[in-house]
Structure 1
Amino acid sequence: MKKLVILCSLLLFLLSPMQLSAVQAEEDYGELFISVGDAMMKTKAKDWKAVETLIGQLNDDWKQVDPGKSKEAEKVDKALSKANKVLGKHEKESMLEALSEVSHALIAFEKEQNPVDEKQQRLEVKTAFMPILADLKTVIEKEDGEAAYAQYQTFLAAWNRKESIVREQSIPYYGQIETQMGFLRIALLQDEKNFDQIKGIYNKLESAVTGFAAGKELKAENNNYSLQTLVDLLGKADQSIDDNKPEEAVSVLQEFLTVWPSVEGDVRTRNGSLYTKLESDIPVIAGKLSSSDTNVVKEQQKKIKEYKQAVDLLQEKKNYTMWDAALIMLREGLEALLVVAALIAFLRKANASQHQRWIWLGALAGVVMSIVAAVFINIAFSAAAAGANREAIEGVTGILAVVMMIGVGVWLHQKSNMKAWNRYIEKQMGTALSTGSIISMAFVSFLSIFREGAETIIFYMGMAPSISTGKLLAGIVLALVILTVFAFLFIRYSAKIAVGPFFKIATILIYFLAFKILGVSIHALQLTGHIGTTQIQSLPIISWLGFYPTWETIAPQAVLLAIIAVTAIWIQKKEKAA
């Protein structure tokens, strides 16, 4: 009993109000910062649908936080309110400014909730770095390259342990230190070392460390760097080597290292292993480019090409255009109109024109049910796609759309023959006329329209995450305008419509979109790590076609092409036999 009392007393002491406040103070707001960061990246890409999802997730996560009586929390509320108001305007600069305010408010709130002694942390950095830098300076002044590189490695190990302190307190100092470290590594790895240059780099490195340790303010440069900036720089370095100017390539890679601290977060969140490789390998590559051995230079160029392609593959999937969106609605809408026009033409030939209104009522019911289905699916999809699994769900949805497209394409291909189309219409309407059922006729029209509407919804679900809301709506509106014109022509001249060419063109379009959506969807799963990435260096990225040079995307697309080829041969043989 005594032991139990002592144990309980000890537990009460450990869970005293002071201890509880310390535990509570260690709140993790990482998910909030991730949502803000992702929203900023999507805003830069003008992917407004994704931004809306991320802002919604941010609002939900913030509601789960219990800030108590906090002035900083009130600032977060105001910043979020502003972001929500700006969201509907789809203005890139205004949205970035609002998200920046949210980010700064969250940082202030986190510091309030998780107070840290920044002065003590800077002292830790100074204590850890300055002795190593002093030793590094000594060996540099002696112009001992081997010893200098060994001492640099010692500093790098210390930096890896303390860099988070610098990054959290000052992004500008973090960027300066990272950049000068990269420059120093390049200079120390060169065959013929320029110690005057090395001393200059060292002085800038030491100045950045001492400036941070002293708490001096350093303003950040407002550069609009992105993953594309890295791709462009690596491409420029590659071209310099092709032009037999490796020293120019070294300068470009130094510029890469200057840009890197501003963009490394984008790389780290998408591909951790690539982030590690780029951070460690780029200085090494730049150092080895000074070699007089042509084989060494060519080997480094190969690595530059690989990294360029790897970074390019990380970029957003903004590969659908307004025309892609229009083609979906146009193809499905034209097919639906053609079915309705053919039904009306059949009624006229059968001297049953008085029943036309039931076809129109059935078509209207099909449109209404399609809208209801669209709303239901959109709500379900938005709820499921929130958070970390969003891109994975986008990829799976896209693949589902492709499977449906294959079925639609085969159906279209079969109906491209005029006799086959006439048999199809007669079969559909024959039952209705024989029974004399008005409901049956309306149901035929309803099913034709609703089927097209349901397919359109699935197709747009697979496309929507990778196209801006503006382009999606513009494509739909454009298609509706064209459909209005065709509706008049179809109804007026329904008996004279040449369905063969129409279905052949529609078949080609649907197969093209299936190929593209398949590539984009698998690429989305690669970005989330659900599918591996095996690059093919000799092939380019063709984003408008959904072509990504990896075995994981090309193999399924090759299977799709094989299915299309086999289908075409099978239908051709079937038509000959008929």
Structure 2
Amino acid sequence: MLATFLIGLREGLEAALVVGILVAYLRRIDRRDVLPRLWIGVGLAVALAVGIGAILTFGAYALTFEAQELIGGLLSLVAVGMVTWMIFWMQKTARTMKKTLEGGVDRALATGGLWGIVLIGFVSVAREGIETTLLLWSMVQSFGDTPSALLGALLGLAAAVILGWLLARGMVRLDLRVFFGWTGGFLVIVAAGVLAYAIHDLQEAGALPGPFSALAPIVGGTVAVGAAGFPFGWAFDLSAAIAPGSPLAAILQATVGFMPQMSWLQVIAWALYMAVVGTLFVRGLGRRPARASASAPLTPVPHHADLSHHQGAS
């Protein structure tokens, strides 16, 4: 529940801040007449994310076990790719997001394409919604505790909406650079865990060699563990010490992607992802300027205020 709560909070707040910036700008330029179209776009984006989640959840029932594992593994890889891209995209474009969004609104209004406002609202929220849906679905598949995972996600989204509204009203201040820095680091670790589970799914589906394939090294009638199991056996098996379905196993899997029994390909994929993506992420944090404008680049403010004054660097 904690892992999915933080994901819902992080992704939901990103979407809430984007919508807050768009709403505040339209109010500031006295174009409240197009706000309903913006909300139509947001609603369509939410409906798309929910629809994708429903298709993934109920559509898998008619598939064979191997097909379910194959699709689950591939979609988990897509989720890892989207999360990774969004982490670095936020690092790179956070300081210019407000200007970019307002420029898109200006172009849509200037060309008379008022339905372009619908598209702006849709695109701004849809990418967050699809990313969140795929990531949560992948985590639900790996955790196996659907009610708790979904409850955590819903609570996180609700908290994001409330926090986004408070930020928009100027009732609370939040150092967004620090917030997205910490949650971005958490998402890197979560994505590494999802990648490891994707490898597990693909191995079970027979798409990748591993402990379930004919290439697995056999010692004493069972798949080898440790050095003898390299590269297609088990890297370790701690099931006797940490039961796979225990609370401790769930906490470790939700936080660092640890599973009591992991193959060598899983461990290698997890380690490489953490080494490469983690290093790039930390370096990206170090390159960010320390001036005040960078500490709260996305915070929307009440419509009666001057957004450029509150954004500092604009």
TM superposition score normalised by structure 2: 0.67
Distance 2:149 2:80 in 1: 19
Per the alignment, residue 15 of structure 2 pairs with 336
When residues 490 and 435 of structure 1 are mapped into structure 2, their CA distance, relative to the original with a 3 A threshold, is: farther
User: Does residue 195 of structure 2 align to residue 518 of structure 1?
Assistant: yes
Per the alignment, residue 74 of structure 2 pairs with 396
What amino acid sits opposite 1:407 in the alignment? Answer: W
Matches within 5 A, 1:438-517: 438-466=114-142, 467-493=144-170, 498-517=175-194
Distance 1:446 1:350 in 2: 21
Cα offset for 1:445? 0.8
Per the alignment, residue 265 of structure 2 pairs with 552
Matches within 5 A, 1:208-287: none
* Gapped regions of structure 1 (runs ≥ 5): 1-321
Whether contact under 8 Å (2:53, 2:137) holds in the other structure is no
Aligned counterpart for 1:420 among listed residues 68, 72, 96: 96
Of Structure 1 and Structure 2, the greater helix share is in 1
User: Does residue 40 of structure 2 align to residue 327 of structure 1?
Assistant: no
Distance 1:515 1:433 in 2: 42
Whether contact under 8 Å (1:399, 1:462) holds in the other structure is no
Per the alignment, residue 110 of structure 2 pairs with 434
Cα offset for 1:397? 2.6
What amino acid sits opposite 1:415 in the alignment? Answer: T
Whether contact under 8 Å (1:429, 1:444) holds in the other structure is yes
Cα offset for 1:462? 1.6
What amino acid sits opposite 1:463 in the alignment? Answer: M
Whether contact under 8 Å (1:413, 1:507) holds in the other structure is no
Whether contact under 8 Å (1:547, 1:554) holds in the other structure is no
What amino acid sits opposite 1:398 in the alignment? Answer: S
Per-residue CA deviations over 1:39-92 (Å, capped at 9, x if unaligned) read xxxxxxxxxxxxxxxxxxxxxxxxxxxxxxxxxxxxxxxxxxxxxxxxxxxxxx
Per the alignment, residue 57 of structure 2 pairs with 378
Distance 2:280 2:161 in 1: 36
Whether contact under 8 Å (1:341, 1:494) holds in the other structure is no
Whether contact under 8 Å (1:414, 1:571) holds in the other structure is no
Whether contact under 8 Å (2:60, 2:68) holds in the other structure is no
Where 2:209 maps in the other structure, the secondary structure is coil
Q: When the two structures are aligned, how many residues end up with a matched partner?
A: 252
Cα offset for 1:527? 4.9
User: Does residue 45 of structure 2 align to residue 357 of structure 1?
Assistant: no
Cα offset for 1:340? 0.3
Q: Supply the RMSD in Å over aligned alpha carbons.
A: 3.3
Distance 1:499 1:431 in 2: 28
Distance 1:365 1:528 in 2: 34
Distance 1:552 1:357 in 2: 50
Matches within 5 A, 1:40-59: none
Where 2:184 maps in the other structure, the secondary structure is helix
Per the alignment, residue 563 of structure 1 pairs with 277
Whether contact under 8 Å (1:325, 1:476) holds in the other structure is yes
Distance 1:497 1:430 in 2: 28
Distance 1:442 1:393 in 2: 32
Whether contact under 8 Å (2:108, 2:117) holds in the other structure is yes
Where 1:531 maps in the other structure, the secondary structure is coil
When residues 523 and 574 of structure 1 are mapped into structure 2, their CA distance, relative to the original with a 3 A threshold, is: same
Cα offset for 1:517? 0.9
Matches within 5 A, 1:2-13: none
> For the pair shown, which has the larger CA radius of gyration, 1 or 2?
1
Distance 1:550 1:490 in 2: 45
What amino acid sits opposite 1:401 in the alignment? Answer: A
Which deviates more from structure 2 when the two are superposed, residues 429-438 or residues 524-533? Answer: 524-533
Whether contact under 8 Å (1:536, 1:550) holds in the other structure is no
Identity of aligned residues (%): 25
Q: Choose between structure 1 and 2 for higher RCO, CA contacts under 8 A separated by at least 6 residues.
A: 2
Whether contact under 8 Å (2:13, 2:161) holds in the other structure is no
Distance 1:568 1:326 in 2: 23
Cα offset for 1:514? 0.2
Distance 1:425 1:495 in 2: 23
Whether contact under 8 Å (2:83, 2:191) holds in the other structure is yes
TM superposition score normalised by structure 1: 0.39
Cα offset for 1:401? 1.6
Per-residue CA deviations over 1:474-531 (Å, capped at 9, x if unaligned) read 2133224323422431342399765433332332232121011112222344456643
Distance 1:477 1:567 in 2: 27
Cα offset for 1:569? 3.5
What amino acid sits opposite 1:475 in the alignment? Answer: G
When residues 480 and 496 of structure 1 are mapped into structure 2, their CA distance, relative to the original with a 3 A threshold, is: closer
Distance 2:26 2:128 in 1: 22
Whether contact under 8 Å (1:336, 1:452) holds in the other structure is yes
Per-residue CA deviations over 1:394-420 (Å, capped at 9, x if unaligned) read 33332222122111211122234xx33
Distance 2:158 2:172 in 1: 23
Whether contact under 8 Å (2:53, 2:133) holds in the other structure is yes
